[in-house]
Structure 1
Amino acid sequence: MSRKKNNSQHLAKISLAVMAIGFIGTIPFQDSLWGTILQGGFEAGLVGGLADWFAVTALFRHPLGLPIPHTALLPKNRNRIIAGIINMLEKDWLTKESIRKKISTIPFTEKLFMLAENAITGQQVRNGITTLIQHLLHSVDSKKIAPIIEQELKTKLRELDTSKYLSLVIDQLISRKYDEKALDFILKEIDEWSSKETTKERLGRLAVEALENIKADGFMQFALKSFTNIVNEEKLGSIIQGLIKKGVVSLRDPYNQNRQTLLFHINSKLQEIKTDENLAIELNTIKEQLISNWQFEEKITEFVEQLRQKALAIIELPHFYDGYLLPLISKAFENLKTDQEKVMAIESWIQQLISTFVDNNHAKIGKLVEENLNKLDDKTLINMIESNVGKDLQWIRVNGAVCGFLIGLFLVGLKLIF
């Protein structure tokens, strides 16, 4: 740019020198027609060139170093020019509305997804994520985490409503027919117990003792005495054993009325337990005692340490990132991209964040321009402007000289005609 400015400045000087030389060179020939015409053209070109040189020079400095009024306009009006530039930037070119409008056309979320998807397969990101996970795992102190986990577990357990879960347990017992299974189990145990020889002997002995201890008068006493003389312990045991077995067999029959009545009674009692407030209070008391006496910190510490060591071992595997982590991250991205509601929420959040940032920092645009311009002294600022627009300004001088020359020829021609 500086070279172009020097070339155009050199051309402007040549044009002015040509006009001056032409004016001087035509003085001896001013009595002739063509001498008069050419002298008038060169004279007008010289005046135009000098006038434009003065005007262009006056923008940046005092012509010939003379403090002529209304010259060196840029240095004198530096603050006004900077203020005008800032005002133009803030209110015309880079307004808040124009920035927001431009921001709203940028799909930030889509671009972020593209950048992230490209980045996660790169070696630098692989190493960074793996190193970060390793650092986090090495930073885990199992002994410090264990009390926190234990306390949280106890808090959550205390929050459990025992009566609510008791009701759920009873419903599950009934729906899974555990009442029938429990009854069948008891009947099986009774059957096995009653089948034993020792049980028969015990039952017979207990029956005889019971009969002997019955107090009765008259005929009843005589009848009992006669009965005990006829049967012995073994016979009574066999009779009772047979009755028990017969009862067990009948109760095992799913269509037996006594069995149905018994199960109905059991179910009714289970339903009553659901609303038993005393039982609920007792269960909560037992729960609180168990939780208070629970000392599981050492086990939790051991469990957390085992998890940490396993995680570190997995990270050391060669295929950890590609085999474990990358598929998880990719799947998470795909799920997020297909969830339009979340994508719109992220986009709205980013747009709002940038919009707020623009609102809070819009004034800093002008401040930044002002600070950068104030760092430049007058000479540097003038050189910068001349480097960028100097070529066009120098062409004003060239055009002034050429146009002046042509206008001079035209005016001299008119004067000679009229």
Structure 2
Amino acid sequence: MRTRYIAVLSLITMGIGFITTLLLPDSTIVQLLKGGFEAGLVGGFADWFAVTALFRHPLGIPIPHTSLLLKNRDKIANSLISALNNELLNKESITQKLKQFQLLKVIGSSVTRLVRKRSNRVGALNLLQTLLTNLPLETIAPLIQKGITSTIRQTDVKPLAEKALHTAIQANWDERALDYALDQGRAWVSKPETGYMLGSIAQQKISEAKVGGIMGFAVQAFAGFMNEEKLGTMIQQLLLSGIQDLIQPGNENREKLIYEIRNQIQRMSDDEELLNRGKQWLIDKAEHSDSGEFLLKRLEDIRSSLLASLEKEKLSGGKKVVTAVKYIVRKLQAEKEMTESAEQKVLSFIVDSVEANHYRLGLLLKDNLDQLDDRELVRMLEEKVGGDLQWIRVNGALCGFIIGLILTSIQWI
């Protein structure tokens, strides 16, 4: 260590100077120099003793109050731990520093700078592709299937049925379903082949009717007068007229039909046995192996689609990544309340985590100190602060020399 050599050299210089003045003829200058070298030698030795006493026993002699660091290593370690826990890493200081840091703003600026480079964007897309490719869908799919089944088992279907009923009535889904069914029925009845089919059925049923007397004669006369086409056309007109009446809002029969539909739905929502059967049907479907295969295939399709999109985006240089990041940053800047709330939550989490675990840093510090033997500890401290301490010896010798000159001069006066 260079400073140690300088300190030793200063002490040797004072010693040689003092011995030299003893051998020179007595004169005023010699006496003055002798006083200076003598005081410098005493000061150099005193400071050497003081500096050495911090780390070890001077000359290996166990003089009291020496080797201070080794004798007090536990006190020093505990003091460092106490300072670390109570002063350097206390909640108030961490909170103040983090508030000045503006976490989300710094993160947003850093991410924006990163995505400006094409290589960073492509690298991020490559990372996403790798993560998606290595995603174990064969393991994830059964977990999702199990989660869906568990959710169905734990769900009380009666409140859901009641809520669905209320929503259906509020949104007029029952009327919409009825109108859809009537539209489809009108389209089916209007077809020529439907009229022919209805006429054929009516003709057959009339011929099969067993009615005697005058009524039978009238029926047979009607059947002989009407053919399949005429019967089909007549039935079509009757059905279309009835459907048209049901389609009209406010129609009495329509209101009765909607009322009956709602009553039937209400009964279904109150029928616990029916609801339980429906719930069990859903559970059986969710647990079936076909559902697992279907879910796995859908996940694989989603992954393939995402990988293709990422590859396409990578070929374009990841321009959409820049657009997405800028959009998110602008959105966060616009939503100041949401941003501040999120930042406070993040900061609170960090502060609470540090406060709850900062004692572990103290334990880590103590463990590391305990692993060092005395020789390693002294060597480490001398490497870190020994150089500055050696200057105390140099200053002691020089100050002693100057003070010796001054004191010798005072004696003359």
Q: TM-score, normalised by structure 1?
A: 0.66
Report the alpha carbon displacement of residue 345 of structure 1 after superposing the two structures with TM. 0.8
State the distance in 1 between where 2:111 and 2:140 align.
33
Secondary structure of the corresponding residue to residue 263 of structure 2: helix
Alignment of 1:9-408 (within 5 A): 9-11=8-10, 13-15=12-14, 17-18=16-17, 20-22=19-21, 24-27=23-26, 35=28, 41-59=32-50, 70=63, 74-75=66-67, 77-80=68-71, 82-83=73-74, 85-86=76-77, 89-91=80-82, 94=84, 96-100=86-90, 101-104=92-95, 105-106=97-98, 107=101, 109-110=103-104, 111-119=106-114, 126=121, 129-140=124-135, 145-153=140-148, 159=155, 163-164=161-162, 165=164, 168-169=167-168, 176-179=175-178, 182=181, 199=199, 206=206, 213=212, 228=218, 233=223, 249=241, 252=244, 260-277=251-268, 281-282=273-274, 285=277, 288-289=280-281, 292=284, 295-317=290-312, 318-319=314-315, 322-325=318-321, 327-328=323-324, 331-332=327-328, 335=331, 338=335, 339-365=339-365, 368=368, 374-376=374-376, 387-408=387-408
Residue 32 (structure 1) aligns with = none
Residue 411 (structure 2) aligns with = 411
Q: Which amino acid aligns with 2:346?
A: I
Report the alpha carbon displacement of residue 321 of structure 1 after superposing the two structures with TM. 6.6
Deviations 1:47-97 (A, max 9, x none): 4234223323333669xx9888859x654x342354564455445x64522
Alignment size in residue pairs? 388
Is contact 1:41-1:408 (8 Å) kept?
yes
State the distance in 2 between where 1:344 and 1:102 align.
16
State the distance in 1 between where 2:379 and 2:222 align.
138
Q: Which amino acid aligns with 1:137?
A: L
Is contact 2:21-2:31 (8 Å) kept?
no
Secondary structure of the corresponding residue to residue 376 of structure 1: helix
Quickly say closer, same or farther: Cα 1:351–1:336, change in 2 above 3 A.
Answer: farther
Report the alpha carbon displacement of residue 365 of structure 1 after superposing the two structures with TM. 3.3
User: Which range moved further: 331-340 or 262-271?
Assistant: 331-340
State the distance in 2 between where 1:379 and 1:145 align.
55
The alignment's C-alpha RMSD in Å is 5.2
State the distance in 2 between where 1:297 and 1:357 align.
43
Is contact 2:10-2:397 (8 Å) kept?
no
Is contact 1:147-1:297 (8 Å) kept?
yes
Report the alpha carbon displacement of residue 357 of structure 1 after superposing the two structures with TM. 3.0
State the distance in 1 between where 2:324 and 2:304 align.
21
User: Which range moved further: 46-55 or 372-381?
Assistant: 372-381
Q: TM-score, normalised by structure 2?
A: 0.67
Deviations 1:157-198 (A, max 9, x none): 675558444665566556655435655765787787997698
Deviations 1:353-396 (A, max 9, x none): 22333222224435545655834386886687653222232222
Stretches of structure 1 lacking an aligned partner (at least 5 in a row): 30-34, 215-220, 414-418
Report the alpha carbon displacement of residue 16 of structure 1 after superposing the two structures with TM. 5.1
Is contact 1:89-1:366 (8 Å) kept?
no
Stretches of structure 2 lacking an aligned partner (at least 5 in a row): none
State the distance in 1 between where 2:373 and 2:15 align.
34
Is contact 2:246-2:254 (8 Å) kept?
no
Quickly say closer, same or farther: Cα 1:3–1:150, change in 2 above 3 A.
Answer: closer
Report the alpha carbon displacement of residue 266 of structure 1 after superposing the two structures with TM. 0.7
Determine which structure has more spread, i.e. the larger CA radius of gyration: 1
Secondary structure of the corresponding residue to residue 316 of structure 1: helix
Report the alpha carbon displacement of residue 139 of structure 1 after superposing the two structures with TM. 3.3
State the distance in 2 between where 1:178 and 1:68 align.
104
Quickly say closer, same or farther: Cα 1:209–1:125, change in 2 above 3 A.
Answer: closer
Secondary structure of the corresponding residue to residue 89 of structure 2: helix
Quickly say closer, same or farther: Cα 1:241–1:364, change in 2 above 3 A.
Answer: closer
